[in-house]
Amino acid sequence: MSNWRNALFAPRCVAVVGASATPGKAGTLFLKNLTAQESGFKGQVVAIHPSARELLGAPAYSRLDAAPTGVDLAVIVTPAASVPGVIEDCGKAGVPVAVVITGGFAEVGPQGAELQRRTLEAAAAQGVRLIGPNCFGVISAGCGLNASLSIGLPKKGGVSLITQSGAYGMAAYSRSMDEGVGFSKIVALGNKADLNETDILAYLADDPETTVIALLLESIRDGRRLFEALADITKRKPVVVLKTGRRPAGQRAAASHTAALSTDAVVVEAALRQAGAHVVEDGYALLNVAAALDWQPPLRGKNVAVITNSGGVGVELTDLLEEKGLAVPALSRELQEALARELPAHGSAINPIDVTTDWARFSRMYGACVAQLMESDEVDAVVPVLLQRSALMEEVSAAIIDAQATARAGGSQKPLHICWVAPRAADSNRARLLSAGIPCHLWPAGAATALAALRTRPAADLPPPLDAIASPGAVGPDGWIATADAFSLLARQGFSVAPFVMAASAKQACAGAAELGFPVVVKAERAGLTHKSDQGAVRLGLCDEASVARVYEDFCARLGPGPALVQKQSPAGLELVIGGRRDASFGPLVLFGLGGVWVEALNDVALRLAPFGVAEARAMLDELKGGKLLDGYRGAPPIDRNALAGLISELSRWFAAAGWVSEFDLNPIIGVGETFTMVDARMRAVSPR
């Protein structure tokens, strides 16, 4: 079996290297977990031990190649120093994949990093793939495989978890026991010396037992590869992602325990969202949202119907949902009338649907309202609040479960989620609802957090790539490209730049200005002069040739001899910024923002991985906090959003194709209606290696 995937998730024979029968030892725990009757693992489990013939009922051998049937999966718990040798043994015994539980590698410092390097080297030489080192292990619930530190197998279900934190492997088991969350595969990545998140994602994407993937990352091995995998997978299967180590102190903490490299949190979040992932901020939400996506259809829009037996909690939940970008719209008169027929006189059918405290009718009212709303096109999700008495009444839960069954039989694909505000005394009803696949989020805050995370923007198709765009010949010091060259290059590519001429003398400058028409802008061009405004190398609003000549001479006097760029001054308009850079992990990024020092100070920009299409660029416009300026704020003419999105998308395609450009900054671009004129351009070539 040369495929590491099948060997890892459905092994015929697993060996515990470093197995033991001494209580408290990892080798004992793994042997017990793998052979536990209740797990139902049908494969063979063997122990690798220097002297024993049998350990805890499993046959023991001194070497991996002594096991009679070939070992598919080696679980290694021997001391760190021995691991490179064990990996070599794996190779010799034809073991395709090893899970290295042992810690003491890159996470503990340079010596450990060297040991990890040697381990990886041995693995590469022998063709053995590795999970870990320094990890919690692997679970494959479908075949009963518990090659992990978890004290039992979680309930079977559709959630597969890839986690860089072993604690969440353990937490998965707790959630499974306490909340009925069902799991298929759990893979702890540890230091991910070899196999990483993207390798496992690719497998789970096609795994029929996995309906939703939960991914907890502290670091990202190859951002672009992860992005591309996610953008592909999320079209078929939801992926929920928690990235920790977002803040400097969090990164410091991550560095101190798994040697994780820091990644720019803003870039990571932009990439995950662009790829269509459900991005969450904490581990509770990660598992909770994944379970909800396993049980319920996805959320297709933002409109939520709330049914409540407490007006006050209805108000609270409405606030929280709206603050998180969802909506609780007033229902149509028609639907209100239909719902009102079920309600007492003082109830409300507007939304939230307030069934009042008329508990004698709770089960009928909840059932009927859920049924009607599950069929309605006016809302995208139905959220009954079960609070105290309604939660304590078994018949209310039963009515909701029935209403769901009927709606699903009738083809409804609307998600149903409960907002649960009840004492422990109502837990049996909660268990009943969970068994029926209806999530019961705790209190309004929990419901709002989960529902908000369910909403995602599907990954857009990528635009067709452009042919590679050649580099200009001349590159200044540090890779900076002369403004005139940058303008010419952009103009050749079809972008609209402000008309200009290059002048090598005051006379040429005057002639050029006359040709362009006044007023003009004159900019000194000198190698290394990259912040022209700050260095007094730009003069705006020159209205005659005498002024132009004076400015040219002044530049020469102050900045040394050299040419000047004479540019037709653009009419007033909205200042925009489009720029790009290449991230070491995620590749080409393009940002868009409104210009001006204020917005720069507020860092109000939208970011995407390039290239991207017009739809994605439109979404960038909607993301800006100051986006209403595009609509003609204070009497200015509105900007054509489609035209602007087209420009941003085209620049993203150009940047992706112009691999020799390391960064660029078009600041400002003057926007007037559907016209966008680039009036300054900084561009830098990738520095030669």
Q: 282 or 461: whose CB is closer to its own copies? A: 282
640-679 binders of its own copies (CB under 8 A): none
Using CB under 8 A as the binding rule, whether residue 329 contacts its own copies is answered as yes
Q: 1 or 186: whose CB is closer to its own copies? A: 186
**The one segment of 70-78, 294-302, 326-334, 541-549 that binds its own copies by CB under 8 A:** 326-334
Using CB under 8 A as the binding rule, whether residue 598 contacts its own copies is answered as yes
Using CB under 8 A as the binding rule, whether residue 622 contacts its own copies is answered as no
- From CA 593, how far away is CA 627, in angstroms rounded? 9
Residues with Cβ < 8 Å from 360, sequence gap 6 or more?
none
- From CA 459, how far away is CA 44, in angstroms rounded? 42
Q: 23 or 494: whose CB is closer to its own copies? A: 23
Tell me the HSE value of 46 on the side-chain side, using a 13 A CA sphere. 25
Q: How far is the CB of 271 from its own copies (least distance, A)?
A: 18
Q: 100 or 656: whose CB is closer to its own copies? A: 100
Judged by CB under 8 A, the number of residues near its own copies is 92
Neighbours of 601 (CB within 10 A): 8
**The one segment of 55-63, 68-76, 304-312, 395-403 that binds its own copies by CB under 8 A:** 304-312
Q: 235 or 252: whose CB is closer to its own copies? A: 252
509-528 binders of its own copies (CB under 8 A): none
470-509 binders of its own copies (CB under 8 A): none
Using CB under 8 A as the binding rule, whether residue 320 contacts its own copies is answered as yes
| 135 backbone φψ class: left, alpha, beta (φ>0; ψ -120 to 50) | beta
Range list of H helices, 93-130? 110-126
Range list of H helices, 209-332? 223-233, 248-258, 265-274, 283-295, 311-323
Integer CA distances (angstroms), 355 to 302, 312, 358, 398, in order: 23, 12, 7, 17
Are the C-beta atoms of residues 244 and 217 closer than 8 Å to each other? yes
244-273 binders of its own copies (CB under 8 A): 244-250, 252-254, 256-258
Q: How far is the CB of 591 from its own copies (least distance, A)?
A: 17
Residue 575 tokens, joined: 């200042």
Query: Nearest-CA neighbor of 67 among 130, 13, 129, 117?
Result: 13
Residues with Cβ < 8 Å from 105, sequence gap 6 or more?
80, 112, 113, 115, 116, 119, 133, 134, 191, 193
403-432 binders of its own copies (CB under 8 A): 421-425
Using CB under 8 A as the binding rule, whether residue 319 contacts its own copies is answered as yes
Residue spans of beta strands (DSSP E) within 326-464: 353-354, 381-387, 418-421, 440-442
| Binds its own copies by CB under 8 A, chosen from 63, 235, 507, 625 | 625
Site string for its own copies, 35-74 (x = CB under 8 A): ----------------------------------------
Are the C-beta atoms of residues 392 and 422 closer than 8 Å to each other? yes
Residue 342 tokens, joined: 């079920």
433-472 binders of its own copies (CB under 8 A): 442-446, 448-449
Q: 376 or 649: whose CB is closer to its own copies? A: 376
Are the C-beta atoms of residues 290 and 439 closer than 8 Å to each other? no
Q: 104 or 613: whose CB is closer to its own copies? A: 104
| Binds its own copies by CB under 8 A, chosen from 534, 572, 687, 688 | 534
Using CB under 8 A as the binding rule, whether residue 323 contacts its own copies is answered as yes
| Binds its own copies by CB under 8 A, chosen from 222, 269, 281, 665 | 281
| CA pseudo-torsion sign 466, 202, 259, 283 | positive
Q: 300 or 346: whose CB is closer to its own copies? A: 346
Q: Which helix (H) or strand (E) holds 507?
A: helix 506-516
SS percent in the chain: helix, strand, coil, step 5: 40, 20, 35
| Binds its own copies by CB under 8 A, chosen from 10, 36, 52, 108 | 108
Using CB under 8 A as the binding rule, whether residue 274 contacts its own copies is answered as no
Q: 484 or 542: whose CB is closer to its own copies? A: 542
Using CB under 8 A as the binding rule, whether residue 584 contacts its own copies is answered as no
Buried b (16+ CB within 10 A) or exposed e, 587-598: bbbbbbbbbbee
Q: 209 or 322: whose CB is closer to its own copies? A: 322
Site string for its own copies, 129-168 (x = CB under 8 A): ----------------------------------xxxxxx
| Binds its own copies by CB under 8 A, chosen from 218, 294, 485, 616 | 218
Range list of H helices, 376-393? 389-392
Using CB under 8 A as the binding rule, whether residue 110 contacts its own copies is answered as no
- From CA 341, how far away is CA 401, in angstroms rounded? 21
Q: 119 or 318: whose CB is closer to its own copies? A: 318
343-362 binders of its own copies (CB under 8 A): 346, 348, 350-352, 354, 357, 360
Q: 24 or 528: whose CB is closer to its own copies? A: 24
| CA pseudo-torsion sign 340, 345, 350, 354 | negative
Q: 121 or 319: whose CB is closer to its own copies? A: 319
Using CB under 8 A as the binding rule, whether residue 322 contacts its own copies is answered as yes
Range list of H helices, 384-440? 389-392, 394-409, 427-435
Q: Which residues pair with 187 in a beta bridge?
A: 138, 162
CA-CA-CA-CA torsion for 563, 566, 567, 568, nearest 10 degrees?
-170
| Binds its own copies by CB under 8 A, chosen from 6, 126, 388, 471 | 388
Q: How far is the CB of 157 from its own copies (least distance, A)?
A: 17
| Binds its own copies by CB under 8 A, chosen from 315, 511, 538, 619 | 315
